[in-house]
């Protein structure tokens, strides 16, 4: 219910933003209305002859006029700012949920600190697990832009539940799962593609999905995967 409330709130904000955008264009800046009308005519005429170079030029010219008109509105800046605040708030809620799943009390004498040598957090670039095999450690990875490849065939998973957490602004994340390993996936993306085994979604917008393989709780090897992206592609496949 909480997640549904978040989705309804975002839809309401988008509707309100669209209404105020229309009011600003009509009553506060008639010049923008003329620019949008000119762009609409260009799109209409260009679409009728889109198979020609002239038609494509007119079509995309009209689209450019509309883009410039909308970009110059004050309400769009407010919507963008509200979207950024919403994403930060949503990310914070996700962090709170992950924190609540961890034990509240830990005996420090029983814990052995270690350094993650599998993948190091960096801002840009391509990251992938080594082909030579590695000792398993729960992964908590963050990056700005890049491609991430995690191949679980190159490690020995523990008998208990393993965890992978990936936060990324833009790029592609690929996770290769052995056939005898079951997963639970929690994925959030603002805009991008989702391919998880037989489940595929192209151009998903503001999407939050949770998927679980049918034999998850009966399996000896299980992995929980949490991924968050602004824009990009997630691919989880068997291999």
- Residue 166, pLDDT > 70, answer yes
For the purposes of burial, counting CB atoms within 10 Å of the CB of 25, is it exposed (0-12), middle (13-18) or buried (19 or more)? buried
2-6, 88-92, 185-189: range with lowest mean pLDDT: 2-6
Q: What is the dihedral of CA 223, 114, 96, 11, to 10 degrees?
A: -60
Average pLDDT over residues 147-151: 86
Alpha-carbon gap, residue 19 to 73, rounded angstroms: 13
pTM of this prediction? Answer: 0.52
- Residue 170, pLDDT > 70, answer yes
Q: Which residue has the higher pLDDT, 27 or 186?
A: 186
**Quick one: pLDDT band at residue 98, thresholds 50, 70, 90?**
low
pLDDT at 137: 81
Tens-place pLDDT, residues 216-235: 888 888 999 999 998 889 99
Helical (H) or strand (E) element with 220:
none
Chain position carrying tokens 């038609």: 55
Average pLDDT over residues 179-189: 92
Q: Where are the chain's structural domains?
A: 2-100, 119-238
Alpha-carbon gap, residue 168 to 120, rounded angstroms: 13
């Amino acid at each position: 219910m909480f997640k549904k409330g978040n989705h309804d709130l975002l839809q309401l904000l988008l509707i309100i933003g669209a209404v105020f955008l229309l009011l600003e264009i009509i009553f506060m800046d008639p010049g923008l209305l003329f620019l949008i009308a000119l762009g609409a005519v260009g799109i209409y005429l260009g679409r009728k002859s889109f198979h020609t170079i002239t038609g494509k030029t007119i079509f995309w010219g009209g689209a450019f006029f509309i883009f410039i008109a909308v970009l110059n509105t004050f309400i769009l800046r407010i919507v963008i700012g509200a979207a950024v605040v919403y994403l930060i708030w949503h990310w914070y809620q996700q962090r709170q949920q992950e924190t609540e799943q961890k034990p509240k009390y830990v005996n420090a004498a029983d814990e052995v600190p270690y350094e993650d040598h599998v993948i190091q957090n960096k801002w840009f670039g391509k990251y992938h697990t080594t082909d030579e095999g590695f000792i398993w450690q729960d992964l908590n990875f963050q990056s700005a832009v890049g491609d991430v490849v995690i191949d679980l065939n190159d490690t020995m998973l523990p008998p208990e539940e393993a965890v992978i957490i990936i936060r990324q602004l833009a790029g592609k994340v690929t996770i290769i799962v052995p056939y005898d390993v079951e997963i639970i996936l929690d994925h959030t993306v603002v805009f991008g593609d989702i391919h998880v085994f037989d489940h595929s979604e192209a151009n998903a917008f503001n999407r939050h999905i949770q998927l679980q393989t049918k034999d998850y709780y009966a399996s000896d090897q299980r992995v929980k995967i949490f991924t968050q992206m602004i824009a990009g592609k997630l691919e989880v496949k068997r291999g």
